[in-house]
């Protein structure tokens, strides 16, 4: 999330600062407070009529933005809150993956599920119920959450789990921060693997082959995804590169047992916003490279899990207008034909997505959690007026296919479509009405979707 100190405005006691979502398109002004363990909470709750818990602002759209309210970020010690002996650990919600993973690695543990960004915090991962490239086999982040410490709107701190306050627990996993401030999380861990993984790269020549190959690779590999060349000028739109990775189990004595300290790469060079030509050449080059190098090889885990971290701040290439990521879930029942129809719709729209990734998804958790059995298709589009119209058509198509859009990436959905996409919305709203009847917790996303 970026903010500009040069553009401060004032509202009585609080200073509102313009803030942008990670993709740079959604913007809103809010004040900011950090919440330390010693607690300045009552003071914060007193001075503002609406507030929103936030992490590091890696949501692409407006999920972590507040219009006129206070964004509250819990602050932790940077250390684990308990030992990891029995395979669980208490961690602060403010801890980013970039700090958590190395600390777990030293102790021989790791997380079963990680999203593709290192600065996501534990609280943000809970609130988005994030998924990785292994969703088909491991489910989402929420599966490894045992207990949450949550501050409710009246300032009361509660612990919730599958046994205690189960409704609040379920609603908070994937609940986009709208049930309270998560301050600490008890996580179930898995034994860590080697810091390298065995990875097979398979280039494909058209959409049919891309989808069929992903089907097979997703079953055979723990971690899988398909990058798709959908430049409209491409000779073969729909051709792709499928990546399938398997982790390598290790013992502490083994030579391959190295510590894992993933970090972001250098700053992205200043380049023009990718237009049709740049996307065409980039995709052509990427596909050619995969054809030349396709084989089984050993990759550092960060290359498999966090490929976008190869460069820091790459999203700035889309400045000043920003970009959108449309991430939809096409359900199993709709079949691969619906995935193909989604691509046809993009083709008709006449705008090339700059990046397209497909992942296979398994059982979901319900509530507002995004994952469900099927395929998730993520497409980045540089912002422009025609893009908004195209995204509207993609949203409509997704709902008609029985699918849904990922709220942590969304910037364009309407309240009406949202209601049709998430069948458990009613039970989520019951909890939301109970814990926050006065709607003290508000985000731009919640306002837009009438949550």
Ligand X SMILES: Cc1cc2nc3c(=O)[nH]c(=O)nc-3n(C[C@H](O)[C@H](O)[C@H](O)COP(=O)(O)OP(=O)(O)OC[C@H]3O[C@@H](n4cnc5c(N)ncnc54)[C@H](O)[C@@H]3O)c2cc1C
How many residues are given for the chain?
451
Of residues 201 and 441, the one with the C-beta less far from ligand X = 441
When computed from its CA atoms, the radius of gyration of the chain, rounded to whole angstroms, is: 21
Q: Is 367 in the site for ligand X (CB under 6 A)?
A: no
The span of 5-13, 54-62, 209-217, 245-253 binding ligand X (CB under 6 A) equals 54-62
Residues 163-182 that bind ligand X (CB under 6 A): 176-177, 181-182
* Distance in angstroms (rounded) separating the CA atoms of residues 332 and 359: 12
The answer to whether residue 451 forms part of the interface with ligand X (CB under 6 A) is no
55 near ligand X, judged by CB under 6 A: yes
Strands (E), 144-212: 145-151, 157-161, 181-188, 190-191, 193-204
The residue from 64, 242, 329, 390 that contacts ligand X (CB under 6 A) is 64
Residue 410 is inside which H or E element, if any? Answer: none
Closer residue to ligand X, CB minimum distance, 250 or 413: 413
Strand order of the sheet with strand 157-161? 88-92, 181-188, 145-151, 157-161
The binder of ligand X chosen from 24, 69, 76, 124 (CB under 6 A) = 124
> Taking the complex as a whole, how short is the minimal distance between the CB of residue 54 and ligand X, in angstroms?
4
DSSP-assigned letters across all residues of 200-226: EEEEESSHHHHHHHHHHHHHHSSEEEE
Q: Which of 120, 211, 334, 405 binds ligand X (CB under 6 A)?
A: 120
Give the contacts of 281 (CB within 8 A, at least 6 positions apart). none
Longest dimension (CA), the chain: 62
Residues numbered 297-326 forming contacts with ligand X, rule: CB under 6 A: 308
Contact 403, 328 (CB under 8 A): yes
Give the tokens for residue 119.
């600065």
Q: Does 331 bind ligand X (CB under 6 A)?
A: no
Look at strands 51-53 and 70-74 and give their pairing.
parallel
Interacting span for ligand X (CB under 6 A) from 12-20, 47-55, 77-85, 216-224:
47-55
115 binds ligand X (CB under 6 A): yes
The binder of ligand X chosen from 16, 28, 63, 377 (CB under 6 A)? 63
- When the beta carbons of 237 and 305 are compared against ligand X, the nearer one is 305
Residues found near ligand X in the complex (CB under 6 A) = 22, 52-59, 63-64, 74, 93, 115-117, 120-121, 123-125, 127-128, 130-132, 176-177, 181-182, 308, 408, 443
């Amino acid at each position: 999330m970026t903010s500009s100190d040069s553009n401060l405005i004032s509202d009585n006691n609080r200073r509102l600062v313009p803030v942008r979502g990670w993709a740079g398109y959604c913007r809103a002004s809010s004040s900011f407070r950090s919440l330390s363990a010693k607690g300045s909470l009552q003071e914060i709750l007193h001075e503002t009529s609406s507030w929103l818990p936030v992490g590091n602002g890696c949501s692409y759209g407006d999920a972590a933005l507040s219009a006129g309210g206070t964004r509250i970020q819990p602050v932790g010690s940077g250390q684990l809150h308990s030992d990891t002996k029995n395979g669980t650990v208490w961690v602060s919600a403010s801890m980013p993956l970039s700090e958590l993973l190395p600390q777990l690695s030293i102790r021989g543990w790791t997380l079963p599920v990680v999203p593709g960004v290192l600065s996501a915090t534990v609280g943000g991962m809970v609130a988005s119920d994030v998924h990785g490239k292994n969703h088909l086999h491991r489910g989402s982040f929420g599966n490894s959450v045992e207990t949450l410490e949550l501050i409710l709107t009246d300032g009361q701190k509660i612990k919730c789990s599958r046994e205690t306050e189960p409704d609040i627990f379920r609603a908070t996993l994937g609940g986009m921060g709208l049930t309270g401030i998560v301050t600490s999380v008890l996580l179930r861990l898995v034994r860590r693997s080697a810091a390298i993984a065995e990875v097979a790269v398979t280039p494909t020549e058209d959409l049919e082959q891309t989808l069929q190959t992903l089907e097979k690779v997703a079953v055979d590999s723990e971690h899988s995804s398909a990058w798709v060349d959908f430049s409209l000028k491409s000779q073969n739109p729909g051709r792709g590169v499928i990546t399938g990775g398997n982790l390598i189990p290790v013992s502490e004595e083994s030579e391959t047992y190295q510590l894992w300290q993933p970090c972001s790469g250098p700053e992205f060079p200043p380049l023009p916003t990718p237009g049709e030509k740049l996307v065409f050449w980039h995709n052509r080059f990427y596909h050619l490279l995969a054809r030349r190098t396709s084989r089984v090889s050993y990759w550092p885990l960060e290359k498999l899990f966090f490929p976008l971290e190869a460069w820091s701040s790459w999203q700035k290439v889309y400045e000043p207008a920003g970009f959108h990521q449309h991430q939809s879930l096409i359900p199993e029942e709709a079949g691969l034909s619906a995935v193909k129809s989604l691509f046809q719709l993009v083709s008709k729209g006449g705008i090339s997505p700059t990046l397209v990734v497909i992942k296979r998804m398994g059982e979901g958790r319900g509530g507002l959690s995004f994952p469900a059995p099927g395929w998730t298709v993520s497409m980045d589009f540089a912002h422009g007026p025609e893009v908004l119209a195209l995204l509207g058509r993609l949203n409509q198509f997704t709902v008609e296919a029985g699918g849904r859009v990922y709220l942590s990436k969304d910037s364009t959905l309407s309240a009406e479509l949202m209601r049709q996409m998430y069948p458990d919305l009613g039970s989520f709203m019951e909890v939301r009405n109970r814990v926050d009847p006065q709607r003290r917790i508000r985000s731009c996303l919640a306002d837009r979707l009438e949550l």
